[in-house]
C-alpha cells in the first residue's frame, strides 16, 4: 500500500507535504477533503487526526499529521534525495527558521490574511498598510538568514519547503516588497522555478487562501 495524502485545496499546510512528495518522486494518492462541508470534523477523519485538520498521511497503515512533522518523517524514511543536512547545528538552525516563519510571525500574518480574504472593497486600508509594514519588518530576520546563499541552509532543504507556502502568500498579500527584501525576492524566484512548486502555480487565488 502506497502513501495516501489527505489534503484540501487550497491549503498551505497541505502544499508543504505535496512538495516533499514531489521532490522525492514518491507515488501517492490524494484524498481531497471539502473543508466547507466539514469532512475533516467527522468520525473517520478525527480518528486519524484528533485536531480535525489537513494534511494527514497514511503510509502503509502508519498515520501521521502536522505538516512539518510529516515532512521530517518522509525525509527520515525516504532518504533520497536527502532534504536535511546531517550537521546538527544546521538542522537546528533550519528548525528555528521554520518556527520563526510559522509561529513567530503568525499573529500579524493571520491579521493580514483575514483582511485579504475579504472582498477588495471591504478591506480596511489601515489594517492592510500597518500589517504589510509590520510583516515586511519582521521578514528582515529571514532576509538576513539567507546571507548570500541560494537557499536557507545553503542547499535546498525542508526549511525552504516548510516556509514556502507562507512566504509565497505574503508575497501575494503585498508584504514581501523590494527593495528592502531583495534576497527573499531572489529566493522566491528560485523556488518558483522548481517543478515541485510549479504544481501550485494557479493555486494562489488570494481570496480563497487557507
Ligand atoms: N499545524 C498544522 C495546521 C493544519 C491546518 O491548520 N490545516 C488547515 C488547512 S491549511 C485546516 O485543516 N483547517 C481546517 C480547520 O482548522 O478546521 C499543520 O501544519 O499541519
Tell me what the mean pLDDT of segment 184-207 comes to.
83
Residues 6 or more apart whose Cβ sits within 8 Å of residue 8: 14, 32, 33, 34, 35, 40, 54, 210
> Measured from the CA of 70, which atom of ligand 1 is nearest?
20
pTM for this prediction: 0.95
More confident residue, 168 or 206: 168
| pLDDT for residue 204 is more than 60 | no
Q: What is the pLDDT of residue 179?
A: 84
The torsion defined by the Cα of 82, 194, 26 and 161, in degrees rounded to 10, comes to 60
Neighbours of 38 (CB within 10 A): 11
| pLDDT for residue 47 is more than 70 | yes
Q: What is the pLDDT of residue 123?
A: 96
Q: How far apart are CA 7 and CA 13, in angstroms?
A: 9
| The residue to which cell 501575494 is assigned | 172
Spacing, Cα 68 to ligand 1 middle (Å)? 12
Spacing, Cα 39 to ligand 1 middle (Å)? 13
Spacing, Cα 51 to ligand 1 middle (Å)? 8
Question: Coil, strand or helix: which one is 151?
Answer: strand
Amino acid at each position: 500500500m502506497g502513501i495516501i495524502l489527505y489534503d484540501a485545496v487550497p491549503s498551505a499546510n497541505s502544499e508543504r507535504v505535496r512538495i516533499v512528495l514531489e521532490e522525492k518522486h514518491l507515488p501517492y494518492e490524494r484524498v481531497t477533503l471539502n473543508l466547507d462541508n466539514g469532512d475533516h470534523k467527522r468520525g473517520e477523519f478525527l480518528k486519524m487526526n484528533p485536531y480535525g485538520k489537513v494534511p494527514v498521511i497514511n503510509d502503509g497503515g502508519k498515520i501521521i499529521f502536522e505538516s512539518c512533522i510529516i515532512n521530517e518523517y518522509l525525509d527520515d524514511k525516504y532518504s533520497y534525495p536527502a532534504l536535511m543536512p546531517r550537521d546538527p547545528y544546521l538542522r537546528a538552525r533550519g528548525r528555528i527558521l521554520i518556527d520563526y516563519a510559522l509561529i513567530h510571525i503568525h499573529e500579524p500574518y493571520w491579521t493580514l490574511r483575514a483582511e485579504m480574504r475579504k472582498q477588495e472593497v471591504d478591506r480596511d486600508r489601515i489594517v492592510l498598510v500597518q500589517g504589510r509594514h509590520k510583516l515586511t519588518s519582521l521578514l528582515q530576520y529571514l532576509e538576513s538568514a539567507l546571507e548570500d546563499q541560494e537557499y536557507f541552509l545553503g542547499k535546498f532543504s525542508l526549511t525552504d519547503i516548510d516556509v514556502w507556502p507562507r512566504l509565497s502568500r505574503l508575497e501575494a498579500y503585498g508584504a514581501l516588497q523590494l527593495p528592502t527584501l531583495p534576497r527573499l525576492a531572489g529566493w522566491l524566484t528560485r523556488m518558483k522555478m522548481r517543478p515541485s512548486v510549479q504544481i501550485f502555480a494557479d493555486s494562489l487565488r488570494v481570496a480563497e487562501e487557507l
